[in-house]
Amino acid sequence: MAVFGVLAAALGAVGLVAPDVQLALLGLPSPRDRAAGDLTPAFLTASSMAALNMGVYYVLAALADWRAFFRWTVPFRLLTCAVFAVAALTGRAPGAFIGVGLWEGAGALATAVALRHDRRGAEAATPETRPAS
């Protein structure tokens, strides 16, 4: 969670400070190369600010060991994976969005596996689940 949070916050900051870099990472043209009235820079600012905020939320949740938050992220990150993949496959977004979707999907699965592992470890450590001697 903390690693994802730091990466999300960092990429959000990159999008706010150096939007050309962020767009290049996604395979999109620079705002300088866009037609008048193109609102890509505004959408990039909004999504970058959202990523920065989300990254901070993830880091704070990790520091607080807020397991409920971790669980909530799994289905929504899988949804993000699906939406980004479909957008890329249908031509609505550049092919680089497949990578973003796969990153989200891998993060969701890693979170689910870690939560399951932690839950099993906690269950094994409780007296109620140990056999009587």
pLDDT (tens digit per residue) in 17-65: 998 888 888 777 776 767 778 787 788 899 999 999 999 999 999 999 9
Is residue 100 pLDDT above 70, yes or no?
yes
Tally of domains in the chain: 2
The mean of the pLDDT values for the chain is 87
Residue 24 CB neighbour total at 10 angstroms = 13
Give yes or no: residues 72 and 52 share one domain: no
CB of 110 closer than 8 Å to CB of 77: no
Q: Which of 65, 88, 114 is the last residue of a domain?
A: 65
Name the domain boundary from 34, 65, 96.
65
Q: What percent of the chain has pLDDT over 70?
A: 92
pLDDT at 130 over 60: no
Measured in whole angstroms, the distance separating CA 121 from the mean position of its chain's CA atoms is 26
Left, alpha or beta for 91 (phi > 0: left; psi -120 to 50: alpha)? left
1 and 61 share a domain? yes
What domain range is 85 assigned to? Answer: 66-133
Report, as an integer, the average pLDDT of 75-89. Answer: 94
Kindly report which listed range (61-65, 69-73, 122-126, 129-133) carries the lowest average pLDDT score: 129-133
Rounded Cα distance between 73 and 33, Å, is 36
* Residue 119's pLDDT band (cuts 50, 70, 90): confident
Q: Do 73 and 119 fall into the same domain?
A: yes
Residue 59 shares a structural domain with residue 86 = no
Domain boundary among 65, 90, 117: 65
Mean pLDDT across the stretch 122-130?
65
**pLDDT band, very low/low/confident/very high, at 93 (cuts 50, 70, 90):** confident
Is 13 in a helix, a strand, or coil? helix
96 and 72 co-located in one domain: yes
Q: What pLDDT, on a 0 to 100 scale, did the predictor assign at position 60?
A: 96
Whether residues 104 and 115 share a domain: the answer is: yes
What's the confidence (pLDDT) of residue 129? Answer: 55
- For residues 118 and 7, give the distance between their C-alpha atoms in angstroms, rounded to a whole number: 23
- Among 13, 49, 19, CA closest to 31: 19
